[in-house]
């Protein structure tokens, strides 16, 4: 007994000593050697002797370990910089990130640097302004900045300095949502693509009554959606607003769309569709794409929203669908479509002011904006993960190993899976993907012409002060809850009257929607004044 | 049991004290003469201080506009603002009523049904039958909440749900009951009862097994039937246990199971399913933009205060009635 205890004690002290040593080792990493850095940007290698840089990153469940990703392995070979990743689960990312600042050995934070956080850290002097370094050591990024003034505008904080690289997105299909409609059904019934909301209604009626899939049963569901997800934005845009939330009107005045007459038009229309069975009766009880895919894969859904048609209807029916173009109505003659406002987001990387490796990191990040970097970070290495189909490089094919899902495989190549962010999602390369399904999405976006009608509802780069944010947080939950529950009730109601809408608006007023709009107006005006 | 052993320890302690008093009166005043006992209790004390009392400083977050960047002590002080925005919220009344409704409905249900089940199990003669009934009735307790809620969704589905098929026999129109605000409380409590009834009954079955058989024999000789014996012997026997459990339940009245309400929530039943905890979750942790942790902490504090008040009130009431009480 005594012996066991003694043994335990010895073991414990060993463990403790180990911890202390480990802590020492952490602090004692090599001194910074300025001569090690290669300033010549035409040389892809960044340092002479290999160095290690520590970065904090969000880790999604689809990712393999960052250290094992093809992108970073290739980058290490090219740049001679080894990156040690501190991975934070995306579920508890915010908390982990907040506490990670105590670890001064972290050099940089890759991805998910939101603007209000940047402003706070910048004011505390905890992150490094990198404007000058970009001029000197980031030729690829600098060229993009010169081509698009928006990049500089979005990354510059109130103090006039730049603290982050922006993530850029030039792939049309990812700049908005897609509303798909079955072109073959339209052809079968000899109908034109609808241009107005009334024509759209007629199309839906025809879908329901004239058996467009020709199987002899009236099994068609003209319009379906998972909880009206983006379909509400599609319908709303016919009535003059691109979203059902906060939106900036043409005159620069902020409005909350559900309090407008336009919203009432939308509710009436959706209510009519629901009660006439044109809108899927299960619309509010579906929670996930797979619920809708169950119907879609039977070839009975006429129109729906989603990331890609094949995700809902499967490969069998994928080719039948195309993008439905923006509609107009009697109260709105202007075609418009919701923009995700994600072409330029100042969130790629921030460097801590305690880090000695600012130049190295700037060069390292700049690589991600080069042609090779763009390819690596989106689909991996040429000849291994993908290869050109022809000499002229007009298209390429992605080689997914047998039995592996595309996104699953990409998770072993790049962190651009599940996160919704990547330094440069370059249309020039990405659009050349020859996969049929992907080409179909590109075609749908192209045919519907979404890019010509994009409108931002409320700019993502507007920031709120801490007090405003705190006040907004409860207001927002109150108001969103109200809209969420009443939208369903009003649309599903059999005898909807104007009184229902008026009650809804007066309840919104009671939930202080005016203050909610006012706060957004103040922040928006501040943003526009800069 | 506990009293006896304490007394025994005290007696031993007094003897030791007599020996020591002459030598070290100061030490004895601190009670250090029982240092072995102190040592025994030390891990428990350390645990309590470290994990229950020390973290309580975090409650000041409730009075702050908390930002993880600035930390607990660096965040700006905002006084009662978080509480004010809770009370001023449009949904405050709705969610307070929803929370209290769920608690107040489930409290009697979850007290009475397990007692009845315990009585029934107790009356069963065949031990194998008794044991199987007990096992089967408490097995659902080990089903996780998410599975239970999934079952609720499946059973009440308008298309293929068992419940709707059953109702159909009586001419009731098929409905997605999980999307009906009016059905929320009922489904919540019924599924909770299904899960917990057998488990809670175990305590009462145990209490019943300690009833003196002589009482039952005497009552039978006096001509008492089964129901009379249950009423006059078994019920009084488990009443103290029931009261204690009831008081404890009162202390948890605002802590309605968050996970379950949250999982059962959807846009259609929101008016009935939004409880204080789910609302606080939306404002703080689940918020897409600014995560108002201060508000979340304020809600937690508000819940705790109400819980303590209710606990004390229930305890006081039980004392007044001259029955069992916590202290």
Chain B residues near residue A287 by CB distance under 8 angstroms: 266
Is B327 contained in some domain? no
Q: What is the pLDDT of residues A379-412, one digit of tens each?
A: 999 999 999 999 999 999 999 998 888 888 999 9
| Adjacent-strand bridge partners of A332 | A329
Min CA distance, B308 vs chain A (Å)?
26
Residue A353 scores a pLDDT above 90: yes
Is B305 contained in some domain? yes
Q: What is the pLDDT of residues A418-464, one digit of tens each?
A: 887 899 999 999 999 998 989 999 999 999 999 999 999 999 888 88
Residue A27 scores a pLDDT above 60: no
B286 and B206 fall within a common domain: yes
Asked: is A178-339+458-529 a CATH 3.40.190.10 domain? The reply is yes
ipTM over 0.85: no
Question: Which of A115-129, A130-144, A453-467 tops mean pLDDT?
Answer: A130-144
Contact B292 A473 (CB under 8 A): yes
Mean pLDDT of A61-83: 94
Per-residue DSSP letters for A135-156?
Answer: HHH-HHHHHHHHH-HHHHHHHB
Residue of B67, B90, B159 for testing the chain A interface, max A β-carbons within 10 Å: B90
Mean pLDDT of A324-338: 95
Chain B residues near residue A511 by CB distance under 8 angstroms: 89-91
B166 and B126 fall within a common domain: yes
Is B278 contained in some domain? yes
Is B216 contained in some domain? yes
B40 and B180 fall within a common domain: no
Q: What is the pLDDT of residues A153-167, one digit of tens each?
A: 999 988 899 999 999
Residue B81 scores a pLDDT above 70: yes
Residue A22 scores a pLDDT above 70: no
Residue B25 scores a pLDDT above 80: no
Question: Which residue has better confidence, A57 or A286?
Answer: A57
Min CA distance, A379 vs chain B (Å)?
29
A33-171+342-430 and A178-339+458-529: identical CATH topology:
yes
Query: Which region, left, alpha or beta, applies to residue A307 given φ > 0 means left and ψ of -120 to 50 means alpha?
Result: alpha
B34 and B120 fall within a common domain: no
B311 and B270 fall within a common domain: yes
B98 and B41 fall within a common domain: no
Q: Which CATH class is domain A33-171+342-430?
A: alpha beta
B179 and B40 fall within a common domain: no
Cα separation, B194 vs B156, whole angstroms = 15
Residue corresponding to tokens 């607003």: A241
- In this prediction, residue A8 carries a pLDDT of 53
Strand, helix or coil at A26? helix
Q: What is the pLDDT of residues B201-233, one digit of tens each?
A: 999 999 998 889 899 999 999 988 888 999 999
B42 and B181 fall within a common domain: no
Band of pLDDT at residue A529, cut at 50, 70 and 90:
confident
Residue A12 scores a pLDDT above 60: no
By CA distance, what is A512's nearest residue in B? B90
Partner residue opposite B90 with nearest CB, options A98, A116, A511: A511
Is B87 contained in some domain? yes
A91 touches chain B (CB under 8 A): no
Chain A residues near residue B178 by CB distance under 8 angstroms: 285
- In this prediction, residue A1 carries a pLDDT of 47
Partner residue opposite A285 with nearest CB, options B76, B176, B283: B176
Residue of A294, A481, A493 for testing the chain B interface, max B β-carbons within 10 Å: A481
Per-residue DSSP letters for A394-458?
Answer: --EEE-PPTT--HHHHHTTT-S-SSS---SEE-HHHHTTB--HHHHHHHHHHHHHTHHHHEEESS
B204 and B93 fall within a common domain: yes
Mean pLDDT of B271-285: 90
B137 and B34 fall within a common domain: no
A297 touches chain B (CB under 8 A): no
Domain count, chain B: 2
Percentage of chain A exceeding pLDDT 90: 75
Q: Provide the whole-model pTM.
A: 0.83
Domain ranges of chain A: 33-171+342-430, 178-339+458-529
B164 and B292 fall within a common domain: yes
CATH number at residue B199: 1.10.3720.10
| Adjacent-strand bridge partners of B224 | none
A109 touches chain B (CB under 8 A): no
Domain that holds residue B246: 83-320
Q: What is the pLDDT of residues A217-272, one digit of tens each?
A: 999 999 999 999 999 999 999 999 999 999 998 899 999 999 999 999 999 999 99
Residue of A221, A225, A464, A477 for testing the chain B interface, max B β-carbons within 10 Å: A477
- In this prediction, residue A453 carries a pLDDT of 96
B44 and B123 fall within a common domain: no
Cα separation, A116 vs A112, whole angstroms = 11
Is B301 contained in some domain? yes
Angle formed by the axes of helices B293-320 and A466-492, to 10°?
Answer: 70
Contact B78 A284 (CB under 8 A): no
- In this prediction, residue B291 carries a pLDDT of 81
Residue A340 scores a pLDDT above 90: yes
């Amino acid at each position: 007994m005594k012996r066991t205890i003694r043994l335990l004690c010895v073991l414990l002290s060993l463990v403790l000593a180990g911890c202390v040593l480990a802590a020492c080792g952490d602090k004692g990493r090599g001194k910074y050697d300025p001569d090690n850095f290669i300033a010549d940007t035409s040389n892809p290698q960044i340092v002479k002797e290999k160095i290690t840089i520590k970065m904090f990153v969000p880790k999604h469940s689809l990712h393999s370990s960052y250290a094992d990703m093809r992108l970073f392995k290739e980058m290490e070979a090219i740049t001679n910089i080894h990156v040690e990743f501190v991975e934070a689960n995306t579920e508890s990312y915010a908390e982990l990130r907040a506490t990670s600042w105590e670890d001064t050995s972290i050099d940089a934070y890759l991805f998910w640097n939101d603007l209000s956080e940047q402003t706070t850290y910048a004011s505390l002097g905890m992150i490094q302004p990198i404007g000058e370094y970009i001029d000197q050591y980031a030729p690829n990024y600098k060229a993009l900045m010169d081509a698009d003034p928006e990049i500089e505008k979005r990354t510059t904080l109130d103090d006039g300095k730049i603290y982050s690289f922006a993530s850029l997105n030039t792939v049309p299909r990812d700049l908005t949502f897609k509303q798909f409609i079955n072109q073959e059904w339209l052809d079968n019934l000899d109908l034109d693509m609808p241009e107005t909301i009334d024509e759209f209604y007629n199309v839906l009626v025809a879908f329901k009554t004239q058996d467009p899939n020709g199987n002899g049963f009236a099994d068609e569901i003209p319009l379906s959606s998972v909880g009206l997800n983006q379909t509400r934005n599609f319908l709303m845009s016919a009535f003059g607003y691109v979203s059902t939330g906060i939106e900036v009107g043409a005159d620069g005045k902020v409005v909350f769309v559900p309090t407008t007459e336009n919203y009432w038009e939308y509710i009436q229309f959706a209510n009519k569709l629901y009660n006439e069975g044109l809108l899927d009766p299960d619309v509010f009880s579906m929670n996930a794409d797979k619920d809708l895919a169950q119907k879609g894969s039977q070839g009975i859904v006429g129109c729906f929203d989603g990331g890609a048609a094949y995700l809902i209807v499967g490969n069998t029916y994928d080719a039948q669908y195309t993008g439905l173009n923006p509609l107009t109505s009697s109260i709105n003659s202007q075609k418009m479509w919701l923009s995700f406002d994600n072409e330029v987001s100042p969130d790629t990387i921030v460097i801590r002011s305690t880090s000695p490796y600012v130049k190295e990191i700037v060069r390292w990040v700049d690589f991600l904006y080069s042609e090779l970097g763009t390819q690596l970070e989106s689909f991996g290495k040429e000849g291994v993960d993908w290869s050109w189909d022809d000499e002229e490089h007009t298209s390429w094919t992605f080689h997914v190993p047998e039995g592996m899902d595309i996104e699953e495989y990409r998770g072993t190549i790049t962190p651009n899976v599940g996160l919704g962010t990547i330094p440069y999602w370059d249309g020039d390369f990405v659009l050349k993907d020859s996969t049929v399904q992907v080409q179909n999405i590109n075609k749908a976006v192209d045919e519907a012409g979404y890019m010509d009608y994009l409108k931002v509802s409320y700019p993502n780069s507007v920031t709120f002060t801490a007090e405003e944010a705190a006040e907004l947080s409860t207001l927002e939950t109150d108001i969103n809850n109200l809209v969420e529950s009443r939208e369903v009730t009003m649309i599903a109601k059999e005898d909807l009257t104007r009184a229902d809408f008026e009650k809804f608006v007066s309840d919104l007023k009671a939930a202080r929607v005016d203050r909610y709009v006012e706060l957004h107006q103040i922040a928006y005006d501040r943003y526009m004044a800069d | 049991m506990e009293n006896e052993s304490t007394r025994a320890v005290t007696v031993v302690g007094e003897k030791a004290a007599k020996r020591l008093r002459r030598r070290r009166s100061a030490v004895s005043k601190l009670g250090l003469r029982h240092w072995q006992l102190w040592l025994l209790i030390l891990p428990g004390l350390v645990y309590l201080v470290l994990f229950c009392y020390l973290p309580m400083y975090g409650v000041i977050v409730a009075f702050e506009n908390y930002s993880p960047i600035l930390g607990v002590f660096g965040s700006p002080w905002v006084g009662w603002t978080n509480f004010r925005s809770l009370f001023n919220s449009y949904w405050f009344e709705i969610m307070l009523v929803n929370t209290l409704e769920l608690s107040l409905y489930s409290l009697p249900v979850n007290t009475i049904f397990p007692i009845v089940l315990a009585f029934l199990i107790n009356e069963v003669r065949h031990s194998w039958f008794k044991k199987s009934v007990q096992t089967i009735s408490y097995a659902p307790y080990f089903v996780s909440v998410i599975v239970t809620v999934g079952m609720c969704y499946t059973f009440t589905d308008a298309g293929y749900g068992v419940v709707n098929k059953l109702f159909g026999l009586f001419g009731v129109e098929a409905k997605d009951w999980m999307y009906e605000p009016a059905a929320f409380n009922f489904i919540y409590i019924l599924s909770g009862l299904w899960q917990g009834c057998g488990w809670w009954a175990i305590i009462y079955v145990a209490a019943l097994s300690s009833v003196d058989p002589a009482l039952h024999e005497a009552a039978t000789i006096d001509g008492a039937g089964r129901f009379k014996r249950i009423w006059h012997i078994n019920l009084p026997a488990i009443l103290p246990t029931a009261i204690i459990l009831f008081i404890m339940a009162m202390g948890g009245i605002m802590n309605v199971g968050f996970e379950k309400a949250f999982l059962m929530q959807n846009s259609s039943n929101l008016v009935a399913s939004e409880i204080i905890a789910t609302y606080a979750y939306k404002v703080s942790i689940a918020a897409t933009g600014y995560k108002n942790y201060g508000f979340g902490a304020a809600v937690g504090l508000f819940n705790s205060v109400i819980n303590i008040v209710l606990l004390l009130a229930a305890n006081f009431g039980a004392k007044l009635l001259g029955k069992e009480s916590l202290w």
